[in-house]
Structure 1
Amino acid sequence: MIGPVWLHLALIAFTAAAFGSAPALARPTLPFGVRVPARRSREAVILLARRRYNRGIGAAAIAACAVVLLGWLAFEAVLVGLVVVCSLLGGLAQRSIVAAKRKEGWYAGTRQAVATDTSLRSDPVRPQWILLAPAVLLAVATAVVGLFAGAASFSTIVAQVLVIGLVALMTVAISRARPEIDAAQPSASASRYREYLHGVLGLLLISAGCVNATLLVVSLQLWDVAETTVPVTIVAYLPIATAFIAWIGFSVRAGDAGHRLPPTGDEPETRHEQRDDDRHWYAAGMIYVNRDDPALLVHRRVGTYWTLNLGHPVAWLVLVAVAVAGVLTGFGVVALPTKGG
């Protein structure tokens, strides 16, 4: 009883910390996904929104812990409720900033522009494909062990191959996604983005190896080559935990789109502000819809990741493919790894 309760409390604390850290990691000009001029990034309404948001997250986490300890609701319902409450708090903070920006005309008299780095096409950030080699070798090793062990099911090997293919596709897509360049500091932001993109691509390829390492140990357990004990299970999920910690560390160090990274050289700010395009962003900067934008992938305004441009026809094909795969898995057409095959 004590173990699961403490695990539930830890998951609640992690969820609250994840939501609470998002505003701190965001770019100063994108509080809660709202584009603001750099000179307005310390406005009282923004600071007040952050304080209210942090207090609300803390109160929601305390309430969730109390409900779990008292056993009033199932943990799954409590966790979903916490996510919903945190999301609503973020939405309220966003609306307050948007209202103040429109009422006070923060962009009035500013010169808005968009900057780009053409060298990313002539001299792109090239993925270090050698980092994908461990994932491939681990998949081969898993297949060899399965053949010698007389495995009845190779579902984990299929999963490893899918991980390699998916990570390779994501690496190519992200490396070609629209770069995040600030018109106020085009050269400095371009150098930061290059370093940021290099780190993201490297971590992505390394993470594929971590996932396949976990699948290798899981395969040994499924094929009764290794016993399903607590130590073996810990070893199985240690690679994924390591990759997860590495992503957290990188996100804290680099910041949103690499804005915390030191630029190469000094550059005075221009007289331009990054173009205000809030009308294309929804859900506090997490959903992007722009039919006039040819980019398929764009960097989200919140977090260290990209999102699909839902105004692009290909984006809907991707979503349909994911939905079909989910339905097939739900009906058992695509089998997931289970004990005994």
Structure 2
Amino acid sequence: MQLVLTVLLVGMGWLTPSLSSRTVRFGVRVPDNRVEDPLVLKETARFRRALVIGGVIVALAGAALMLTVGVAATPAPVIVQIIIWYTLYFRANRAITAAKRDQDWFAGVHQAVTADTSLHSDPPKFPWPWLLLPVAIVVASAVIGAIRYPDLPDPLPMHFDADGVANRWVPKSVGSAFTVVYIQAGLTVLLSGLAVLISRGPADVDPARPAASVRAHREFVVRLGKGLVALTALADLGLFATDWSIWDGSRATDALLPLTLGPILVGVALLVLIVVQRNKDDGADEGTGLSHRDDDRNWVGGIIYRNADDPSWFVQRRFGVGWTVNFGNPAALITCGALTVGVVTVSLLLPFILR
């Protein structure tokens, strides 16, 4: 398990340079003519090389730790790998920022902000029929659980040790028997809502190739919507394996982990592939003579956006896909903070509410 998580984190980290718009390198806005600058390429190679070396060391140390301490040590190597990932990311961010400042990369560059107003009048078509798949899996899980419920033992075994012997029991109830089904339903609503929001979000239009970037954005959000829905369906399918282990009292603990994580990993891999492909440059420079505006002053480390003059609550992330909250907007910050506290509170109280 620890090795799988480490490999997954190293793989995701290795893709970090690809998970951003074309003119953003490690969270730093660069002019169009500096996208393939030798320093940028050097820092990219340096980041990936150090990440892989660190991943190998963490994997070996983690394996030794697991043999001596046991499963309880699993989070430690994962946390260390995440720290390595972001340390290397910020090192590259600082190096590119320094070169950009010292060499004045934006000197003489015509900067501009380009918008696609047609996204409001003619937004990309969201693949609504695709939502039927994850909904069908959740409904099927609930129906199968309802059929099995009368025959379930009381108390209900909820956890098994490595030998397949139950070591945690809970009183039989709708809440305990359908806990994972509730998780499936919540996950379906969350990821489906995220997919819809992304399809309605603004485009980061490249002033150097506006027509090509608008077209690429429309194609990307449609593919991403389908990818998120597919991930939702695969996650629901993987969680159904956990449902069944509870209802069947299964002792096949060796098969449970791959049956649960396998579909989820396939969905994540599919999503990563879609995100990486969005930056495939199929459009030539359209001769506008323009480049993105240098707005690094609004970003902290290329990750946190803070602009009190921007009324937007959310802006597109510079790393990965999706949006991040505008920390310079008090209303957005208070609202998102309150929602986060509410979600965490409900998550903690749900097991007691449903008992």
TM-score normalized with structure 2 length? 0.81
Partner SS state of residue 310, structure 1: coil
2:45 to 27, 46, 51: 51
Q: Which is further off, 135-144 or 90-99?
A: 135-144
- The 2-side partners of 1:304 and 1:168 are apart by 15
Task: Map 1:17-56; keep pairs closer than 5 Å.
Answer: 17-56=11-50
Per-residue deviation at 1:90?
A: 1.2
1:213 to 1:260, Cα distance in 2 relative to 1, 3 A: same
- The 2-side partners of 1:209 and 1:62 are apart by 32
Q: Counterpart in 2 of 1:296?
A: 313
Any idea what the Cα deviations from partners look like across 1:144-192, whole Å, max 9, x if unmatched?
A: 2222222632323322332232233223321222211101111111111
Q: Which amino acid aligns with 2:54?
A: A
Contact persistence 1:192–1:261 (CA under 8 A): no
- The 2-side partners of 1:95 and 1:319 are apart by 29
Partner SS state of residue 335, structure 1: helix
Q: Which amino acid aligns with 2:147?
A: F
Per-residue deviation at 1:49?
A: 2.1
Task: Map 1:1-341; keep pairs closer than 5 Å.
Answer: 7-71=1-65, 74-150=73-149, 152-153=173-174, 154-224=178-248, 228-231=252-255, 234-252=258-276, 254=277, 258-260=278-280, 262-263=282-283, 268-283=286-301, 285-312=302-329, 313-330=331-348, 333-335=349-351
- The 2-side partners of 1:157 and 1:315 are apart by 32
- Percent identity of paired positions between Structure 1 and Structure 2: 28
Structure 1: which 5+ residue stretches go unaligned? Answer: 1-6
Contact persistence 1:174–1:297 (CA under 8 A): no
Moved over 6 A (4+): none
1:323 to 1:110, Cα distance in 2 relative to 1, 3 A: same
Per-residue deviation at 1:36?
A: 0.6
Contact persistence 2:141–2:181 (CA under 8 A): yes
TM-score normalized with structure 1 length? 0.84
- The 2-side partners of 1:232 and 1:66 are apart by 25
Contact persistence 2:191–2:232 (CA under 8 A): yes
1:230 to 1:23, Cα distance in 2 relative to 1, 3 A: same
- Provide the alpha-carbon RMSD of the alignment: 2.7
Per-residue deviation at 1:75?
A: 4.4
Contact persistence 2:191–2:228 (CA under 8 A): yes
Partner SS state of residue 63, structure 1: helix
Any idea what the Cα deviations from partners look like across 1:127-155, whole Å, max 9, x if unmatched?
A: 11111111222222222222222263232
- The 2-side partners of 1:323 and 1:241 are apart by 29
Any idea what the Cα deviations from partners look like across 1:12-39, whole Å, max 9, x if unmatched?
A: 2332232122114544421111001111
Paired residues, number: 323
- The 1-side partners of 2:345 and 2:201 are apart by 29
Per-residue deviation at 1:92?
A: 1.5
- The 2-side partners of 1:129 and 1:329 are apart by 28
Contact persistence 1:173–1:297 (CA under 8 A): no
Contact persistence 1:16–1:58 (CA under 8 A): yes
- The 2-side partners of 1:141 and 1:69 are apart by 39
1:125 to 1:233, Cα distance in 2 relative to 1, 3 A: same
